[in-house]
């Protein structure tokens, strides 16, 4: 752990940059650990190539069921909900959790009501998040949980996660405690309000045994290009490797497709240096983070204008300082090539090489995951790993970079 002097130094550096450190207790009790998570972003229009999302219109008199796969297990569970980008208070009339069946179904006898400070209903102010009370539901790695929210009043635009690479379900009216799939006939490929699942139990052994790894970045962490509904993103494969190695750790995917290190986007979310506290440092049990970020800052379509290698490196240094101030190990992943894609430019490629050289040789990161060397064929992705757009990986490519992470660096 860092000394109090180093913490004070980090706080001063971040304050000078206009970034505040979270309070020491922000991550919550260490006995809780995050075992599934996603990063919140503001409502955006439906993307024709990806599928319908309900974020702009929100919900009114609906039951929303979302199925997520856990990366570790425990004896009790709680969920994290976000109204960070909401324009009005969000009323949750009720919530349940249970083991998922086929599609939107819940396995009989496993459905549990969730409460919030002892109450079945709660209201999230615009800009806020909330964690539910604990529910007794035993879980194991790879278990799929179905979380159902009852939304009985107009929500306005929804805080959501666009590229879920998974299916969410909606039913009209109150089906909060209905285990059947039949009423949930409407489908979307995004997640709404739900940003975390956390567990506790006999394997949560106190503050010295943090047990969650956070994968942080853009669409290459988000898993764009992988097969929808198969949990084939690189953080999913990493979770499988940890499990096989006997490490009962959770893995959280905090990627946002299109996200940038240095600039905000109305479509692709807050810049990485601004959202890092919420999406990484405040995850219960976080022990390490893998940072794979920068490709969108270099993309030819970046309407905010070109960045320099020094600016991008400074952004990475900010993320490292934030993590180290909380005693979190930071692994830097090299930026992968985008040759042949719409994002490629000669200047962007030059900067990518400069930043990768710094990641590999500066010693600023605690360790390096050299994804570029795994998947690159010069300025291009190897054909065997290319999803077809020359920037995103396919299932084989995501598996390859997950396998390149040295588990001992986590």
How high is the pLDDT of residue 141?
96
Digit-coded pLDDT (tens) for 11-55: 444 444 344 333 333 334 448 999 999 999 999 998 888 889 999
How high is the pLDDT of residue 15?
42
Question: Looking at residues 191-201, what average pLDDT do you find?
Answer: 96
How high is the pLDDT of residue 13?
41
How high is the pLDDT of residue 62?
98
pTM for the predicted model, two decimal places: 0.91
Digit-coded pLDDT (tens) for 339-357: 999 998 999 999 999 999 9
On the question of pLDDT at 247 being above 70, the answer is yes
Q: How far is CA 70 from CA 73, 99, 232, in A?
A: 7, 11, 14
Nearest to 225 by CA among 55, 390, 25: 390
Would you state the structure tokens that stand for residue 46, as one six-digit string?
A: 């439906």
Digit-coded pLDDT (tens) for 49-107: 888 999 999 999 999 999 999 999 999 999 999 999 999 999 999 999 999 999 999 99
How high is the pLDDT of residue 202?
65
Would you state the structure tokens that stand for residue 248, as one six-digit string?
A: 């009962």
Digit-coded pLDDT (tens) for 303-327: 777 799 999 999 999 999 999 999 9
**How far from each other are the two terminal CA atoms of the chain, in whole angstroms?**
15
Asked if 397 and 381 count as a contact pair (C-beta separation under 8 A), the reply is yes
Question: pLDDT higher for 6 or 64?
Answer: 64
- Under the banding of pLDDT at 50, 70 and 90, the label for residue 206 is very low
Domain 4-24+210-409 has CATH 3.40.50.1110: yes
Strands 112-114 and 94-99: antiparallel
Would you state the structure tokens that stand for residue 331, as one six-digit string?
A: 């692994």
How high is the pLDDT of residue 229?
95
Average pLDDT, the chain: 91
With a pLDDT cut of 90, the percent of the chain lying above it is: 85
- Under the banding of pLDDT at 50, 70 and 90, the label for residue 116 is very high
Digit-coded pLDDT (tens) for 282-299: 999 999 999 999 999 999
CA 213 – CA 287 distance, rounded (Å) = 6
- E strand spans, 225-350: 250-255, 286-292, 329-333
């Amino acid at each position: 752990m860092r000394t109090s002097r180093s913490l004070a130094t980090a706080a001063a550096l971040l304050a000078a940059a206009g970034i505040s450190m979270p309070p020491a207790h922000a991550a919550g009790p260490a006995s809780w650990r995050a075992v599934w998570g996603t990063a919140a972003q503001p409502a955006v229009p439906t993307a024709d190539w990806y599928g319908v999302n309900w974020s702009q219109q929100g919900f009114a008199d609906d039951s929303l069921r979302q199925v997520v796969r856990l990366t570790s297990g425990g004896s009790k569970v709680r969920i994290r909900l976000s109204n960070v980008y909401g324009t009005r208070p969000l009323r949750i009339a009720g919530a349940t959790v249970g083991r998922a069946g086929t599609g939107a179904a819940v396995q009989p006898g496993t459905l549990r009501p969730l409460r919030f400070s002892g109450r079945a209903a709660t209201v999230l102010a615009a800009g806020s998040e909330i964690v539910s009370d604990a529910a007794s539901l035993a879980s194991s790695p790879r278990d799929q949980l179905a979380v159902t929210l009852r939304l009985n009043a107009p929500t306005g635009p929804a805080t959501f996660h666009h590229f879920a690479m998974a299916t969410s379900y909606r039913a009209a009216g109150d089906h909060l405690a209905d285990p059947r799939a039949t009423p949930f006939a409407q489908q979307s490929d995004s997640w709404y309000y739900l940003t975390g699942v956390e567990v506790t139990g006999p394997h949560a052994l106190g503050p010295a045994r943090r047990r969650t790894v956070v994968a942080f970045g853009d669409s290459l962490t988000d898993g764009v290009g992988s097969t929808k509904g198969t949990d084939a993103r690189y953080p999913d494969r990493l979770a499988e490797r940890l499990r096989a190695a006997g490490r009962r750790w959770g893995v959280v995917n905090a990627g946002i497709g299109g996200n940038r290190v240095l600039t905000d986007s109305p479509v692709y979310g807050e810049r990485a240096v601004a959202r890092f506290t919420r999406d990484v440092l405040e995850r219960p049990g976080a022990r390490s983070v893998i940072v794979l970020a920068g490709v969108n800052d270099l993309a030819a379509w970046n309407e905010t204008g070109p960045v320099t290698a020094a600016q991008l490196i400074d952004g990475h240094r900010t993320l490292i300082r934030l993590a180290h101030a909380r005693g979190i190990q930071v692994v830097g992943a090299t930026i992968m090539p985008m040759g042949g894609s719409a994002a490629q430019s000669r200047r962007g490629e030059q900067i990518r090489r400069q930043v990768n050289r710094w990641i590999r040789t500066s010693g600023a990161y605690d360790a390096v995951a050299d994804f570029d060397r795994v998947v690159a064929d010069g300025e291009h992705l190897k054909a065997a790993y290319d999803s077809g757009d020359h920037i995103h990986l396919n299932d084989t490519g995501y598996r390859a970079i997950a396998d390149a992470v040295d588990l001992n660096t986590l």
